[in-house]
Structure formats: C-alpha cells, structure tokens
Structure 1
Amino acid sequence: MGQVIQFIPRSERERIRLVREARAIYDSIFPPAAPLKEQPARALTIPAVGRASVLRTDEIPS
C-alpha cells in the first residue's frame, strides 16, 4: 500500500524498447571499453524532441 503507479503510454514504452534494442546491437558491434561489472551505474538517457528522459531504477519517485 502507498505505492504510486506511473502511467507510461504505449508509444513511450515502445520507444524505450527500441532504444534498448539499438543500444544492445551497438554494444555487440562496438563493445564497451570495460566489462559491465567494472563500469559505474549510469542513467539511461533517451533523447526526445525538446527534452530528455532519464530513467534510473534507484530514483523512481514514490
């Protein structure tokens, strides 16, 4: 109880999925310099027209 559920439109979810898929393809072609275990946690920044959405699992508003 007390949890807030945020509505995310289907188009936004699809855009996020496509960005993640593109990033996975890019990383498979051009691997990151350090293994994922050694890299610091980073935010997923998704550019949009006139704004940027930043998604972090540890900063979800409650």
Structure 2
Amino acid sequence: MGEIVRFIPKSELERARLIREARAIYESIFPSADPVRERRESEDQSGTQS
C-alpha cells in the first residue's frame, strides 16, 4: 500500500528513446575529451554546485 505507480505515455517513451539515440550519435561524431570534467564545468556555469 502507499505505492505510487506512474503511467508513462507511449509518446513520452518514444521521445526519450529518440533523445538517447541522438545523443549517442552526436557523441560518436563529437567525442568529448573528458566527460567528467566537462560535466563539472557545465554544472559550474549553470550554478548547480553542491
């Protein structure tokens, strides 16, 4: 009891799949030199530091 089940529309699942595919293609064409460092830099710029 008390468990929440979220139903995800098929269109939302398809959208997420397409985004993942697009990111994978982009990354294969333009590989990042150091993904961890770049992620930290982008977080610093957006102001989401811990």
Q: Where in structure 2 are there 5+ consecutive unaligned residues?
A: 41-50
**Considering only aligned residues, what root-mean-square deviation do their CA atoms show, in Å?**
2.0
Higher RCO structure (Cα 8 Å, ≥6 apart): 1
Shift of 1:3: 3.2
- Structure 2 SS opposite 1:11: helix
Aligned residues: 39
Can you list the C-alpha shifts for 1:3-57, whole angstroms capped at 9, x where unaligned?
3221110000000000000000000000122156xx56xxxxxxxxxxxxxxxxx
Where does 1:1-20 land on structure 2 (aligned, <5 Å)?
2-20=2-20
Query: Which consecutive aligned stretches of 4+ in structure 1 deviate over 4 angstroms post-superposition?
Result: none
Larger Rg: 2
Identity fraction in percent? 63
